[in-house]
Structure 1
Amino acid sequence: MQNSRNEQNTNTTHGPLVRIPQSAERIDLHCHSKLSDGSLSPKELVLRAHTMQLDVLALTDHDSLSSYEAACRAQQEFALTSPLLIPGVEISCVWHGFEIHVLGWNFAVDHAPLKALLAEQQDKRRARSVAIYEKLVQQGIPAQELPDVHALATGQVLTRLHFAQALVAANRCKSIQHAFDRFLGKGQCAYVSSQWCTIEEAVAAIRDAGGVAGLAHPLAYDLSNKWIRKLLIDVKDAGALAIEVVSSQQAPSQRQWLMELAQEYGFYLSVGSDFHHPGKYRELGRNLRPPEGVTPVWSLWQ
C-alpha cells in the first residue's frame, strides 16, 4: 500500500491557489498567532519568519482565518518577498470522544461554506468558554481573576490557554501545565467537553474550498497504536491527503515511525513547528527538514 492514493481523494478541480517554487527548502506549515493561542501578532510572526529565513509559511490558527489577511498586509507594509504565505487553518474535530486537529492549506479564504463552518466553530468555542468560566467561579475563583470571556475573544479565538494564563497570573496555579492538571484538563473540575465538527466535515470544507487537508501531530492524542491506525484510516477515508510527520520537538524514533505510517497508508508528508511563542525548543522552521522516502505535501503546489 506504500504511497498509494485513491483518485477520489485527489483534489484537482481547483488546482493550487499559491504555487511553491521547487527551490523552497525552509518550510513551516503549522504555527499560531495571538489571534489564536500564540503570543505574537501576525505581523510579528511574519517578521520573525523572515528573520529565520523561511521560504514558505502557513499560519494555522485554531478555527480562524483572521491571521492570514493580517500577515499579507504586514508583508506588503514591509515589502517582504519571503516567506511565501499560503492560507492555513487548524480545525478542531471530535472523533470517538477525542479532540483531533485537522490542518488545511492553500484554499480560497473567501469560500463561504468554509467560513460558515469556522464561524460555527467559534460560536462553540465561545459557549465552551462561558461554561469554563462558570465552573471556575463555582470552584471559588473570583471573577475578576478570570478572563473577560466576551472582551478577550474580540479579534481572537478564545482557548483554554487563556484561562490557564489567567490562573497563573492570579497565582492560583504554578504553571500552565498545573492549570490544566488542576482545573482545565480532561476529567478535571473546570473541564468542558467540546462539541466540534467531525473530521469528515472539516476535510470536506477544506477540499471544497480548493485546499488540501492533513492530520496534525498524530502522536499528540494519547492514542494506542491500534487507535492511531484507526484514526489514519478514518482520516484518509474522509479525503485528507497528508499527515504531519516532522515537528520541531520530536524523538528520532517518532519521526521514523510517522514516516513509516505515511508510507504504509499512502499519505503525503507535512512539516510544522506548531510554534506558539518564542522559546528554546520550538522555533519557526527549526528541525523541520523532511526525510527521504515520503513525498511532501507541497509537491502538490509546485
Structure 2
Amino acid sequence: MKIDLHMHSTASDGSLTPGELVERAHNLHVEVISITDHDSVAGIAEARQRAAKLTGGVVPQIVTGIELSSRWQGHEIHVLGWCFDLDNKALTELIAAQQRARQERAEQMIDKLSKQQIDEACLQPVRARQDNVDEVITRKHLADALVTGGYVATVDEAFKRYLGKGNCAYVAPQWCSLEDAVGAIQAAGGVTSLAHPLAYQLSSKWLKRLLAAYKDVGGEALEVASGQQAPQQRLQLAQLANDYSLMSSVGSDFHGPGRWRELGRNLSLPDGCRPVWQHWDLSTLVRDQRH
C-alpha cells in the first residue's frame, strides 16, 4: 500500500491547494495521505471534498494531520499528528495560540525588513495572508516575497541574508513546548511522530537526548522514511526508532512540484520497523472505486 503522511498545501507553505494535492495523489496512485500543514488543519475539509468527487482508480483516503512547531532546549522541533478529532478543544486552542504567535512573528519580521529598505509593495503579499484566517504565515512566504521583489535570487539566499537565525530580519519563534505539542494531539485522540529528525542538525548525543525527551513526554513514533534521504540515514533512523521503542512513519514532506520530492515516492520502511499505521484499519481507509 502506498502511504504518504507528510505534505503541505497552500494553507501553510505548500504551492498546491489541498484539492490539487489530492488530485496529484490520485494520479500517482497514493492510497492514504495526510495533509500536515504547519500549525493548521484548514486544508483538510477541502481535501476531503475533492476526494469525494474523484472517480476511477484508488481514491486516496484523507487522514487528519498537522505539523506542530514546538521548542525544546532552544531548538525548533516539529511534531506530526494524525487521526485526531478536529473539534477537540485542547488542540484547537493550541492551534489558535500557535497561529497568533506566527502572526506576531511575521509582523515583527516585516518591520525589520522595512528597516532594511525593502519596498512595501514587495511585502504586500505576506500582509495579505495576515487577513486570511485559513492561511498561516511562514518565513518561506517572506523569502518568496524577497525573491519576487528582486532582493535575492533564491529562497536560500533570503534565509542567509535576512531571515535565518542571527540575520537582520530574524525573530525567534515563541512556539509551544514539545510536551504541549504531543499532549494536545493525544488529547484529541491522535498519534504523534517526530518529524524529519536529522533536519535539526543535532549531534548524535543531542539527537539521542531529543528522542529520550520526546519519549518521556509520550511521543509514539519517529519519521524514518522520507523521499529525499540516503539509504544509510533511513537505516540509522530505523535503528533509533527501535532503540527508543518508537513506531515508524513515512512522509515525503512535499511542498510542491519539483525535482527532488514527490508524493509517495521512495517511502518504504526497513525491515523490523513497526509502522505507525499498524493499528489503523486501512481496509476502511482506502476506497477502491475500480470496477
Q: Classify the TM-score, shorter chain.
A: over 0.9
> 1:176-232 CA distances to partner (integer Å, 9 max, x unpaired)?
000001100111110000000001001111001000011000000111101100000
Q: Secondary structure at the match of 1:269?
A: strand
Query: CA offset at residue 300 of structure 1?
Result: 2.3
Aligned residues: 278
1:147–1:163 CA contact under 8 A, matched in 2: no
Query: CA offset at residue 79 of structure 1?
Result: 4.7
> 1:7-36 CA distances to partner (integer Å, 9 max, x unpaired)?
xxxxxxxxxxxxxxxxxx100000000111
2:126–2:141 CA contact under 8 A, matched in 1: no
Q: Secondary structure at the match of 2:212?
A: helix
What pairs with 1:212-227 in structure 2 (closer than 5 Å)?
Answer: 212-227=191-206
RMSD: 1.1
Task: Give the alignment partner of residue 91 of structure 1, picking from 54, 68, 88.
Answer: 68
1:130–1:149 CA contact under 8 A, matched in 2: no
- Which residue pairs with 2:289 in the alignment? none
1:199–1:235 CA contact under 8 A, matched in 2: yes
- Which residue pairs with 1:15 in the alignment? none
Does 2:257 match 1:278?
Answer: yes
CA distance in 2, matches of 1:256, 1:78: 37
> 1:69-115 CA distances to partner (integer Å, 9 max, x unpaired)?
11011112335752111000000001111110000001111111101
Task: Give the alignment partner of residue 37 of structure 2, picking from 61, 71, 76.
Answer: 61
Structure 1 stretches of 4+ moved >4 Å: none
1:147–1:162 CA contact under 8 A, matched in 2: no
CA distance in 2, matches of 1:202, 1:131: 24
- Which residue pairs with 1:207 in the alignment? 186
- TM-score w.r.t. the length of structure 2 is 0.93
Query: CA offset at residue 60 of structure 1?
Result: 0.2
Q: Which amino acid aligns with 1:177?
A: D
2:147–2:155 CA contact under 8 A, matched in 1: yes
- Which residue pairs with 2:280 in the alignment? 301
CA distance in 2, matches of 1:273, 1:136: 32
Query: CA offset at residue 234 of structure 1?
Result: 0.6
Q: Secondary structure at the match of 1:210?
A: coil
Q: Secondary structure at the match of 1:118?
A: helix
CA distance in 2, matches of 1:78, 1:259: 35
What pairs with 1:10-89 in structure 2 (closer than 5 Å)?
Answer: 25-79=1-55, 82-89=59-66
> 1:28-66 CA distances to partner (integer Å, 9 max, x unpaired)?
000000111000000000000000100100100000011
What 5-or-longer segments of structure 2 have no aligned partner? 282-291
CA distance in 2, matches of 1:134, 1:38: 24
Query: CA offset at residue 148 of structure 1?
Result: 4.5
- Which residue pairs with 2:151 in the alignment? 172
Task: Give the alignment partner of residue 97 of structure 2, picking from 120, 123, 126.
Answer: 120
What 5-or-longer segments of structure 1 have no aligned partner? 1-24
CA distance in 1, matches of 2:32, 2:52: 16
Q: Secondary structure at the match of 1:299?
A: coil
CA distance in 1, matches of 2:113, 2:197: 31
Q: Secondary structure at the match of 1:273?
A: coil
Sequence identity percentage: 49
What pairs with 1:138-287 in structure 2 (closer than 5 Å)?
Answer: 138-153=115-130, 154=132, 155-287=134-266
Query: CA offset at residue 150 of structure 1?
Result: 3.8
> 1:244-282 CA distances to partner (integer Å, 9 max, x unpaired)?
000000011111110110111111000000000011210
Task: Give the alignment partner of residue 110 of structure 1, picking from 75, 87, 90.
Answer: 87
CA distance in 2, matches of 1:299, 1:198: 28
Q: Secondary structure at the match of 1:301?
A: coil
